[in-house]
């Protein structure tokens, strides 16, 4: 299609003309906002300007949308109304933010017990009752940060305890432990749902519900209600009406569906948690996430509860918590729009989100030559530290047999094998069982009962190998899993990290083995560079693990490469051993 000069075909002064002009001025910001789904593509811009006059001021930013500014005390310097420059001229209006300083006691990051984190005594007693006494690194960092009223992005490897990292501070302020500690409110007079946790899959949602119920105990477990797809919607609605839960955990589709019927009221919600947020940003969840972000914790015209809180008065009522093992830059953008001055929380580290460079984790799965220390750090944080990574070269038709030899060589008792195509799962299970290995398939096309039964058998040790697709890469918590095998390679480093995280959970040891054909070896080398981890070539002769010690290939100039090629050609032509030896020395040097 030929290039068209748009300005010649538009009438100067028209809305379209200024729209084109504004586009040119903001070209760089448009480039940044292309890519994965963010709040911008959902139509949100967050809380932007705070005007400096008593009356609300309205500014027309486009031909169709108006923006209203909140009240603020008049300036003591001048009573003149501030000048408002049209966006078509300035390009983009920068939000005026009042930022709460990071007042977090970093000594808490090294807490050895939950009691050091200033949790309610009754909550600590309940944790001890279920065998939880020592917080993980990410828990000791995230809990005091959230309790200081910060919106956060929690990044840590799978199996590091991210779920409790946000559940415990929520339970400090909502539910029976908070009520009994402060005596402020009768549990029978709850105001409704105060915390909504959104997960991309039914399995992850139910896992979060079980964590809630374990801490709440049998007497208070009705305070949490699951709203996941695949369950009976009428029963879920009846439970909402009857139990009046304080916590709702569910998938985007079911939460949005019940919210639209008016049977789920979330305007008084104080916490919104998006678990596996990078997955929730996908296009499939766009409309459902749109509604959730519109309604959870948003109370039009409501005044803050306590005006004595200083800068935090200007926050929205809800606190937003984003969680994932991997945090690409699309998540950083979304967090900046959805929250108020969010911070990035990693193990023993808290930094303002604005300090994350624009070339951050989003380039993780792109050209590795553009990597930086920030990318490497973020990628390394997404993998459990107790894992060893290998790859085995095998032909496609022999991969399942290589899996069998791998299981025996590593003496793995609980194995998750990933494949990219659902139709091939059954064949892999058949081949494994024919060789005496108990196995089963798990995928989204199975019914609810079949999936639950398979997972229960695998967790109980009745199955040695669980063959699955990407469904189980997120949220599947099997503590005893000691081996992950990629029968088909993941599409990028982020998917590799989520798959690998099924093993080595909570500090345990584990292994990740990727089966690849000769033509796919370059993918493993890319993963090695992007994730910054050693991935060793291996094989399984005679039922043992054998690791190859490959030579390191050094970068060289084009002149040196040309010289080596010339020497090689002469050596091959004349059969000169001396020239061949000279080539080896040049490569080593």
Distance CA 119, CA 134 (A): 13
CA distances from 231 to 206, 242, 243, 273 (A): 11, 17, 17, 21
* Main-chain phi, psi angles of 377, to 5 degrees: -65, -45
pLDDT at 425: 94
pLDDT for 531 equals: 87
Contact at 8 Å (CB) between 406 and 431?
no
Measure the CA angle with vertex 133, ends 130 and 136; round to 5°. 115
Chain center to CA of 192: 28
Q: So what's the pLDDT on residue 151?
A: 92
Report the relative pairing of strands 319-324 and 343-346 from DSSP bridges: unpaired
DSSP 366: S
Q: Report angle CA 439, 499, 530 to the nearest 5 degrees.
A: 145
**Where do you find CATH 3.40.50.300 in the chain?**
114-178+191-300+317-354, 380-547
Q: Which of 185, 162, 163 is nearest to 174 (CA)?
A: 185
* Beta strand segments in 22-133, E: 58-60, 66-68
H or E stretch including 101?
A: none
Which has the closest alpha carbon to 71: 50, 89, 102? 50
**Residue 215 near residue 126, CB atoms below 8 Å:** yes
pLDDT, averaged per 10 consecutive residues of the chain (589 residues), comes to 44 46 40 43 43 39 39 42 42 43 66 87 92 91 92 88 94 82 51 91 91 92 93 93 94 95 90 93 91 76 44 58 86 86 89 66 37 43 84 94 95 94 93 94 87 90 92 77 94 88 84 95 91 91 86 43 60 57 53
Give the Å distances, CA to CA, from 352 to 147, 150, 364, 377.
16, 10, 20, 16
Q: CATH classification of 380-547 is 3.40.50.300, yes or no?
A: yes
pLDDT at 452: 87
- Where is 154: in which H helix or E strand? strand 152-155
Asked if residues 438 and 465 have their Cβ atoms less than 8 Å apart, the reply is yes
Residues 209/212/217/218 CA torsion (nearest 10 deg) = -20
What is the rounded CA–CA span in Å between residue 370 and residue 359?
A: 8
Question: Which residues fall within 8 angstroms of residue 123, CB to CB, at 6 or more apart?
Answer: 114, 168, 171, 172, 177, 215
Other C-beta atoms within 10 Å of 576: how many?
A: 13
CATH of the domain spanning 114-178+191-300+317-354: 3.40.50.300
Taking CA atoms, 100 is separated from 304, 431, 459, in Å, by 16, 59, 45
- The residue to which tokens 């050609």 are assigned: 569
The closest alpha carbon to 175, from 137, 132, 232, 213, belongs to 213
| Closest alpha carbon to 176 in 216, 145, 146 | 216
Per-residue pLDDT at 55: 39
Give the Cβ contact number of residue 451 at 10 Å.
19
d(CA 37, CA 29): 15
Distance from C-alpha of 216 to C-alpha of 196, rounded to nearest angstrom: 16
Question: Which of 547, 549, 500 minimizes the C-alpha distance to 380?
Answer: 500
Contact, 439 vs 463, CB < 8 A? yes
3 state SS of 406? helix
- pLDDT for 371: 35
Q: Record the pTM.
A: 0.66
pLDDT at 112: 84
Site of tokens 């015209």: 301
């Amino acid at each position: 299609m030929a290039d068209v000069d748009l300005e010649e075909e538009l009438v100067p002064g028209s809305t379209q003309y200024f729209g084109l002009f504004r586009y040119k001025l903001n070209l760089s910001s448009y480039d940044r906002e292309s890519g994965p789904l963010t709040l911008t593509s959902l139509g949100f811009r967050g809380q932007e300007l705070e005007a400096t006059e008593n009356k609300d001021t309205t500014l027309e930013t486009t031909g169709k949308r108006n923006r209203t500014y909140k009240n603020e005390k008049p300036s003591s310097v001048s009573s003149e109304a501030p000048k408002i420059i049209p966006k078509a001229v300035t390009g983009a209006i920068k939000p005026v933010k009042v930022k709460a300083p990071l007042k977090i006691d970093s000594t808490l990051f090294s807490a050895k017990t939950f009691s050091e984190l200033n949790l309610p005594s009754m909550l600590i007693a309940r944790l001890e009752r279920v065998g939880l006494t020592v917080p993980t690194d990410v828990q000791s960092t995230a809990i005091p940060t959230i309790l200081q009223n910060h919106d956060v992005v929690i990044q840590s490897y799978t199996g590091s305890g991210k779920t409790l990292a946000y559940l415990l501070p929520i339970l400090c302020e909502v539910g029976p432990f908070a009520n009994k500690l402060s005596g402020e409110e009768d549990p029978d007079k709850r105001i409704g749902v105060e915390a909504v946790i959104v997960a991309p899959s039914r399995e992850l949602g139910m896992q979060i519900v079980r964590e809630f119920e374990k801490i709440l105990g049998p007497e208070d477990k009705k305070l949490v209600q699951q709203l996941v797809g695949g369950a009976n919607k009428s029963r879920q609605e009846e439970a909402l009406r009857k139990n009046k839960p304080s916590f709702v955990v569910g998938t985007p589709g079911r939460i949005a569906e019940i919210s639209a019927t008016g049977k789920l009221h979330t305007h008084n919600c104080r916490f919104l948690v998006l678990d596996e947020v990078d997955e929730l940003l996908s296009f499939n969840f766009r409309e459902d996430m749109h509604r959730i972000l519109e309604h959870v914790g948003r109370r039009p015209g409501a005044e803050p509860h306590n005006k004595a809180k200083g800068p935090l008065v200007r926050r929205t009522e809800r606190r937003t918590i984003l969680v994932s093992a991997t945090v690409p830059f699309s998540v950083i953008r979304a967090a900046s729009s959805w929250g108020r001055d969010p911070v990035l929380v990693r193990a023993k580290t808290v930094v303002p989100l604005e300090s994350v460079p624009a070339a951050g984790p989003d380039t993780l799965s792109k050209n590795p030559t553009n990597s930086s220390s920030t990318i490497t750090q973020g990628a390394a944080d997404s993998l459990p530290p107790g894992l060893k990574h290998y790859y085995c070269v095998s032909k496609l038709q022999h991969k399942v047999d290589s899996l069998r030899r791998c299981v025996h060589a590593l003496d793995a008792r609980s194995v998750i094998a990933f494949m990219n195509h659902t139709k091939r799962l059954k064949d892999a299970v058949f081949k494994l069982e024919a060789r005496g290995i108990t196995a089963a398939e798990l995928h989204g096309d199975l019914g609810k009962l079949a999936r639950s039964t398979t997972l229960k058998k695998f967790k109980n040790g009745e199955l040695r190998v669980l063959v699955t697709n990407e469904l189980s890469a997120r949220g599947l918590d099997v503590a005893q899993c000691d081996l992950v095998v990629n029968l088909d390679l993941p599409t990028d480093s982020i998917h590799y990290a989520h798959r690998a995280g099924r093993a080595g959970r909570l500090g345990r040891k584990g292994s990740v083995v990727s089966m690849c054909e000769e033509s796919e070896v370059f993918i493993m080398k890319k993963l090695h560079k992007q994730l910054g981890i050693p991935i060793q070539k291996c094989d399984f002769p005679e039922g043992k693990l054998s690791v190859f010690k490959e030579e390191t290939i050094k970068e060289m100039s084009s002149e040196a490469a040309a010289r080596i090629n010339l020497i090689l050609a002469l050596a091959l032509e004349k059969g000169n051993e001396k020239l061949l030896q000279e080539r080896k020395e040049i490569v080593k040097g």
